[in-house]
Amino acid sequence: MDKSFKEKEEAILNGRLMPPVKSLKLASDKFFKVVDGSKFEVNCPEDGAVALAEKLAKDFWQVSARVSAGAAKGLPDNDEGYSIRIAASKTVLSAKTLRGLRYAFFTLRQLAESERGVATSRASFILPCVAIDDAPATAWRGMHVCFFPTPETTYVEIERQIRLAAYFKFNYVVIEPWGSLRYPSHPEFSWPGHSVSAGEFRNLVRIAKSLGLTPIPQLNIFGHAPAARGSNHKHTLLDFHPEFAPLFEPDGWCWCLSNPATRAFLTDLVNDLFDIFENPPFFHLGCDEAGDGTCALCRRADYPTLLKNHLLYFNDILKKRGARPMVWHDMFVERGDKRWAGYVACGTPGTISILDKLPKDFVICDWRYNSSAEERNGAEPSFATLRHFIDKGFDTLGCPWFDTCNTLAFGKAIQKYGAMGMLETTWHIKRSYWMHAEFAVASRAAWNPLSADAKGQGFNGGASFAAYVRDVNHDMGVDTYEDFGTAPYQLDVQPI
C-alpha cells in the first residue's frame, strides 16, 4: 500500500470512531463482508463469548455469523481492552472479558458501512481490513443523566441517553429522578401525572445492565431537596403537600437535619432506590449547593456535627447493603478561599470542617463546568479542587459538562493526577448540539484523553454522531418524528 493512501484511509476511519481508539492500522486494501455465514473468531476466556458475538452480529447487522472460539491466548492486559484483526476471510476479536468483547463489537459497528454501489441494502455490510488495539485510559467512566418529569424528559429520551452512554463505552450511569419516579414508599415525592412507576424505572435499570452499564441511583439528601431546578421555583413535595414543611429548612432548599422525621423519610426513599436499582455498588447522595441550616432548631445546633452524623448515618445504611456513597464536592471547599479561584466552592467554615472526619468510603465528585478564556487560548488548568481531594486521600471523580475545552482538559487532569475516573454530567441541557459535547467529546476525554484532534468527523463535528444516534434509535424501535434524533423539534434551541 502506498503510504499516503494508508494515511488517508486511517485518518478517515479514525475520525469516525467515538471514542477514538488507541491504535488503528490499515492492514490491506481489502474488505471483510458482513453477511450471513461471515466468519468471526472470538478469543475470550469468559463463558458466553461466542453467544454474545452471535447476538451482537444479529442485533447490529441482521446477519447470522459463523462464530468460533479461538485459543484465548495473548489477550490484552486491560479487563476492558480488546484487539481486532480484520482480514478478507475472517475477523478475529480478542478480549479478556465479555465487556471488552462488547466494546470490540461497538467499534466494529461504527466502522461498518452498508454494502456500496446498490440502491438499497440490508444485512450486508463491509469492514475495512484493519488492526485495532484499544483499552480505556480510566477504569471508572460514568454518565449522569437526569429524568425530569414527563414529558419534559420522555421515557424514550432517557433510554436513548442510557443506550448512547453504553455505545460510547461509559461503564456507569447515574440516574437522578427529579420527581419523575413514584417511590413505592412515598408516591407524594413525585409529580402527579408527570412521573413513572417503579416498574418502569426498573426497566431502565435492566436495559442499562443488559448493555454492560452499572446503574447508580441518586437522591439528594442535603441541598437540592426540592428535586426541581432552583431557577424554576418548583418543589416536588411542598407544592402539592405543604404539610411536609417541617422536613425542610424554611426556604425548602435543604432538608432539615435536626428533625428525626427527615431521616426516616429519606431512609424510605433510599431503600426504594436500592430495590429498584438491584443493590448498586455506588449510591449518589447529591449534597451540592447546600449551606448551613437556618431553622429555629438548626441555627442553634452544632450544625457541623448534625451534618457529619447525617452523612455517616447514610454511609452506614449504604455500607450494610454493599454500596459506597458519592457526593458532590462543593460544600467541602470554602467559598471565597483564594486557593479555589476559578473552581466551584460553596462551603462554609462549618461544612468544610467535616471533610477530615469522613471515612474514605465517600467518593468525591469534583464538578467544574466552564473553562477560562486563558484555557481556551491554550493555558493548562490546575484543577486545584480535584487535586485537593486526591491529596486528602479520597477517591475522586472529575465531573465536566458541556464546555468541550473544559471536558478535554479534565480528561487529561484525571490521568495526570491519578483521579478515580470521570462522571460526565448532562443536567437540563441534553438535546441537539449539546448531546455531541456530552457524549462524543466526554467519551473521548474519559477513554482516550491524549488522542489527537479527530479529523474527518464531517459537518459540525457531529455527522458520525448522528449516525450513532440512528443506531440507538433503531435499537429502541423508535417510530415517530418527535422521537428520532436527539430533540423532538428541529427549531427547539436549548439555551445554557
Residues forming the site for Zn ion (CB under 5 A): 256, 258, 293, 295, 298
Closest contact distance (angstroms) between CB of 258 and Zn ion is: 4
Closest contact distance (angstroms) between CB of 473 and Zn ion is: 46
* Nearest-angstrom CA–CA distance, 188 and 230: 20
Distance of CA 346 to the CA centre of its chain: 24
DSSP secondary structure code for residue 243 in this structure = G
- Specify the residue, 199 or 250, whose C-beta has the smaller distance to Zn ion: 250
First to last CA, the chain: 48
Q: 215 — phi, psi (to 5°)? A: -80, 140
- Specify the residue, 253 or 274, whose C-beta has the smaller distance to Zn ion: 253
CB 291 within 8 A of CB 351: yes
* Nearest-angstrom CA–CA distance, 395 and 202: 28
- Specify the residue, 145 or 295, whose C-beta has the smaller distance to Zn ion: 295
Q: Amino acid letter at 423?
A: L
- Specify the residue, 350 or 411, whose C-beta has the smaller distance to Zn ion: 350
Query: Which residues have CB under 8 Å from 368's CB, separation 6+?
Result: 343, 344, 383, 385, 386, 398, 399, 400, 406, 410
* Nearest-angstrom CA–CA distance, 191 and 172: 27
Closest contact distance (angstroms) between CB of 256 and Zn ion is: 3
* Nearest-angstrom CA–CA distance, 274 and 272: 5
- Specify the residue, 52 or 295, whose C-beta has the smaller distance to Zn ion: 295
- Specify the residue, 226 or 485, whose C-beta has the smaller distance to Zn ion: 226
- Specify the residue, 303 or 332, whose C-beta has the smaller distance to Zn ion: 303
CB 221 within 8 A of CB 287: yes
* Nearest-angstrom CA–CA distance, 123 and 109: 13
CB 482 within 8 A of CB 488: yes
Query: Which residues have CB under 8 Å from 418's CB, separation 6+?
Result: 390
Alpha helices, DSSP H only, in 17-65?
A: 49-61
Closest contact distance (angstroms) between CB of 385 and Zn ion is: 28
Strands 82-86 and 125-134: antiparallel
Closest contact distance (angstroms) between CB of 298 and Zn ion is: 3
DSSP states along 308-324: HHHHHHHHHHHHHTT-E
* Nearest-angstrom CA–CA distance, 270 and 229: 21
Residue 50 in grid coordinates: 461466542
- Specify the residue, 248 or 367, whose C-beta has the smaller distance to Zn ion: 248
- Specify the residue, 238 or 476, whose C-beta has the smaller distance to Zn ion: 238
Q: Which of 228, 209, 101 has its CA nearest to residue 162?
A: 209
* Nearest-angstrom CA–CA distance, 436 and 416: 25
- Specify the residue, 296 or 379, whose C-beta has the smaller distance to Zn ion: 296
* Nearest-angstrom CA–CA distance, 199 and 48: 28
Closest contact distance (angstroms) between CB of 249 and Zn ion is: 5
- Specify the residue, 158 or 247, whose C-beta has the smaller distance to Zn ion: 247
